[in-house]
Structures are given as structure tokens and as C-alpha cells.
Amino acid sequence: MKCVILAAGEGKRMNPLTFTRPKVMIPIANKPILEWNLLNAIDAGIKDFIFVVAYRSEMVRNYFQNGKKWNINIEYINQGKALGTAHAIGIVEKFVNDFIVLCGDTIFGRKDIKNILKTNPSIGLFKIKNAEEYGIVKTKGKNVIRIYEKMEKPLSNTINAGIYHFDKKIFDYIRNTKKSPRGEYEITDSINMMSKEKNTEGIFLEEWRDVVYPWHLLDANEEILNKIGKNIEGTIEKNSTIIGNVSIGKNSRIMNGSYIEGPVIIGENCKIGPNCYIRPHTSIGDGCHVGNACEIKNSIIIKNTNAPHHNYVGDSVIGEECNLGSGCKIANLRLDKKNIKVVLNGNKIETNRRKLGVIMGDKVQTGINSVINVGSIIGNNVYIGPGSIVSNEIRANAKIV
């Protein structure tokens, strides 16, 4: 049994985070999305993996290598040009017999993967409230009748979750799959052909976390952090307070007067404090510095980034190698308490969140006492001058003075 993980996508809706990494390599709770998926699949008993890669594939390869670190085998197949999910699955034909497929950017649970493994062919289904963004599945008894493209007014709230169990026969259907109206070869079209000719079981999942837009990372982060335990490998100075499940990596130092409320994960080689407040559901990657009089809450700070003095970071995702100037603060709540809308790649999007700070790319520098407004998107290498007020979408390399 092999597990094929689709990890080729660029993830344009995750810009600016995906300008410098593929979507599956965005970290949640200090591990790439793909690793969480891999760990669950390993727990479900799978040993052989094929990663279908393309966009910035070297990052996936460098991180996971041949899988030895996890005692598994990982093979890589480069998809080439991204021509859709049917194309991505089609190219592994020569390397698989009986296999399951996971979309690498969705996190699936261990038990659900086990259930999918038992039945061939089968498709993972999930019930959600707002199904407009997903393929809708029509079922009859146990079986899938048809998968529809996303609809404005969904027929039902059962969606295609993005996990499948196939055998060699699927490739005949894939070969006969035509390009969809949006110009891609979709596996759902292949499945619709298959489900007409043979029973294809729909299996309802218990857990499912899809991340489409950057603010969804915060939800996934919260979910995963709720499950972590306490694990302290770094050093904690006197007069620091650690409450609840907090994980602190090697060589990290928690300095006098720090107050950390779990669940919180802090990577290796970090310098935290003195006198800072880290609140629940915060992930701080390796090599970060959170200094005096800083408060961090419900946020992801990726790596080698500093919030060194007098900073507030709430409900935000901050990229690698950023530096916040002294007194730079990030707003995360509108004064009228309304839901926050975001402008991403020029489109205005409703986030359905009341609290959202900033989504910041890599290597951003902010000046002292600069202010970043709720729901801002800041591209890579942006330079924000002292005292500036920033809102909405700021494109990469911009200088704001």
C-alpha cells in the first residue's frame, strides 16, 4: 500500500507566504502542513510514500529527504506543469498498484486515514456549514453517485474532502478525462466516470482541516496546539511563569519575568523575554526573539524573526527574518467589532473573523512606532518607515515612509 501525497501546488490564495515556499511547507505549530499529514498517515500504518511535487520542490525534498528520519520511504515525482489533480495522480501510474491519495494541504486524522485504507475504491467525505467553496457530493446509501463542482447554492453540505483510495483501474478513467471548464484535468471528473461503472464508497471523516487562506492557518494552529503536551528542552530563568502545555525547544532561553500561557510552542535557539507575555495558541519558530514588554497572542511566527521591544502581535502570521521596530503594534480588532475583510491579490475577501492582525511575508522591516491595521497583508521585503500607519494589501518590495 502506497500513499500518494499531492504537494505540487503553489497556493496562490496563500500569498504572500507562498512566494517563498510551497503551500505544504507553511508551518503550523512549528511543523510544515505536509509533516502533520505525514505523521498521521504513518500513525495509520503507512510506510511507503510518493510525494508529487513541482513548485519549489527542492524545499520539500530538502526537508523530508528519503524519509529515513521517520523510518519510512519517500519517493518524489515531479508533476511538471500543474495541469490539475487528475494529471497529478495520473503521473504516478507506473509506481503504484493499490494506493491512497491525500491532498497535502489538508490535514486528515489518523483514524480517518485508517478507514479509507480499508475500502477500495473510496472517497473521504465531510460535512461542513458553508459548502460554497467545495465540490459537493451526492450519495446513495454508502456509495458516491456524483461529485459536483463548487456551487453558489450547494445541494447538500457533504463535500469532497480530498482523500481517496484507488487501484490501477483509476488510470483508465484518468486517461479518458477531458479538460474541465477551468482548463484542468480534475480527478473528480475521473471519479464521476468510475462511480457510474462501479461502486465507489463514500466514507465520512471525523476530522478535517482545510487551509485555503492565510487566516485559516490560525484555526489549524489552534487545533493542533490544543493537542500538544508539555515538553521543555530549553532553559527557564527564575521568576518566569509557565502555565499549561508549553513546548520549548533546545537552546531556547526563557528570561526573567516572562509569562507564558499554554498551549504554546517555541522552537529552538529562541530568546524569550525578559518581561514578556505569550498568550495561548502561539507558535514561535526557531531562532526568534520576543523581547521586553511584548505581547504575542494566537499567532504563528515562522522563523528567525524578532519582536524585540514594545510590540503587540495578535491573530497574525509573520514570515521569516522579519524585524519589528520598537513600539510597532499590530491591531487585531475593529473598534466597531465587525468581521474583518481582507484585500488579497486585489480581491476583497470576507474572513468571517472578528479578530485578525497581519499576514506578513518574509524579510519585512517595520520602523519604530509604526502601526499595522487589522487584516493587512504585507508582501516580502517590505520596508515600513517609523511612525507609518499601514492597512490593506502592500505588495512585495514596497517602501512605506
Partner 1 sequence: MCGIIGYNGFRNADRVLIDGLKRLEYRGYDSAGIGVIGKKLNIYKEVGEISKLEKYIPSLDGDLGIGHTRWATHGSVTKENAHPHLSGNKKIAIIHNGIIENFKTLKEELEKQGVKFRTQTDTEVIAHLIEKHYKGNLENAVYSALNKIKGSYAIVAICEDEPGKIIGARKESPLVIGVGDNENFLASDIPALLKYTNRVIFLDDGEMCVVNKNSISIFDENNKEISKEEQLIKWDFKDAEKSGFPHFMLKEIYDQPDTVQRVFLGRISEINRNINFPEKVVNLINNNVSSIHIVSCGTSFYSGLVGKYFIEKLTDIPVVVELSSEYRYFGTKKEQSLVIGITQSGETADTLAALKEAKNSGCKTLVVTNVIGSTATRIADAYILTQSGPEIGVAATKTFTSQILVLFLIGLKLALLNNRIGADKLYEHILDLKGLSKKVRQVLDKSEEIKEIAKILKDSKSIFFIGRGINYPISLEGALKLKEISYIHAEGFAAGELKHGPFALLTKTTPVVAVVTNDSTYDKMIANIGEVKARGPQVIAIAEENDTEIEKHADYVLRFPSNSSILSCVSIAVILQLLSYYVANLRGCSIDKPRNLAKSVTVE
CA distances from 71 to 43, 45, 67, 99, 156 (A): 12, 12, 6, 19, 41
- Interface residue with partner 1 among 73, 78, 130, 339 (CB under 8 A) is 78
**Residue 87's Cα: distance from chain center in Å?**
23
Q: Whose Cβ is closer to partner 1: residue 62's or residue 347's?
A: 62
Q: Whose Cβ is closer to partner 1: residue 76's or residue 204's?
A: 76
Q: Whose Cβ is closer to partner 1: residue 75's or residue 321's?
A: 75
To the nearest whole angstrom, how small is the minimum distance from the Cβ of residue 67 to partner 1?
Answer: 13
To the nearest whole angstrom, how small is the minimum distance from the Cβ of residue 58 to partner 1?
Answer: 6
Q: Whose Cβ is closer to partner 1: residue 87's or residue 329's?
A: 87
Build a one-symbol-per-residue string for 21-60: x at contacts with partner 1 by CB under 8 A, - elsewhere.
------------------------------------xx--
Q: Are 228 and 246 in contact (CB under 8 A)?
A: no
SS3 of the chain: helix, strand, coil, percent, to 5: 20, 35, 45
To the nearest whole angstrom, how small is the minimum distance from the Cβ of residue 396 to partner 1?
Answer: 13
To the nearest whole angstrom, how small is the minimum distance from the Cβ of residue 76 to partner 1?
Answer: 4
Coil, helix or strand for 184?
A: coil
> CA gyration radius for the chain?
22
How far apart (Å, rounded) are the C-alpha atoms in residues 108 and 211? Answer: 12
Look at residues 89, 85, 143, 148 and name the one whose alpha carbon lies nearest to residue 119: 143
Build a one-symbol-per-residue string for 80-109: x at contacts with partner 1 by CB under 8 A, - elsewhere.
xx---------x--xx--------------
Query: Applying CB under 8 A, does 397 fall inside the site for partner 1?
Result: no
How far apart (Å, rounded) are the C-alpha atoms in residues 300 and 330? Answer: 14
Q: What burial class does residue 275 get, using C-beta atoms within 10 Å of its C-beta: 0-12 exposed, 13-18 middle, 19+ buried?
A: middle
Torsion sign (Cα): 346, 352, 358, 359: negative
Which of the stretches 78-86, 106-114, 226-234, 355-363 binds partner 1 when contact is defined by CB under 8 A? Answer: 78-86
Phi, then psi, of 248 in degrees rounded to 5:
-130, 125
Q: Whose Cβ is closer to partner 1: residue 90's or residue 314's?
A: 90
- Interface residue with partner 1 among 13, 72, 75, 193 (CB under 8 A) is 75
C-alpha cell at 243: 502555565
Q: How many residues at the interface with partner 1, by CB under 8 A? A: 11
Coil, helix or strand for 70?
A: helix
Query: Applying CB under 8 A, does 223 fall inside the site for partner 1?
Result: no
Q: Does residue 309 carry a catalytic annotation?
A: yes
- Interface residue with partner 1 among 44, 46, 77, 102 (CB under 8 A) is 77
Query: Applying CB under 8 A, does 161 fall inside the site for partner 1?
Result: no
Q: What one-character-per-residue DSSP string does 323-365 give?
A: EEPTT-EE--B-TT-PPPEEEETTEEEE---SB--EEE-SS-E
Query: Applying CB under 8 A, does 178 fall inside the site for partner 1?
Result: no
Coil, helix or strand for 168?
A: coil
Which of the stretches 69-77, 125-133, 152-160, 337-345 binds partner 1 when contact is defined by CB under 8 A? Answer: 69-77
Q: Whose Cβ is closer to partner 1: residue 11's or residue 267's?
A: 11
Query: Applying CB under 8 A, does 63 fall inside the site for partner 1?
Result: no
Q: Are 388 and 400 in contact (CB under 8 A)?
A: yes
- Interface residue with partner 1 among 20, 47, 67, 76 (CB under 8 A) is 76
Catalytic residues: 309
Per CB under 8 A, residues contacting partner 1 are 57-58, 75-78, 80-81, 91, 94-95
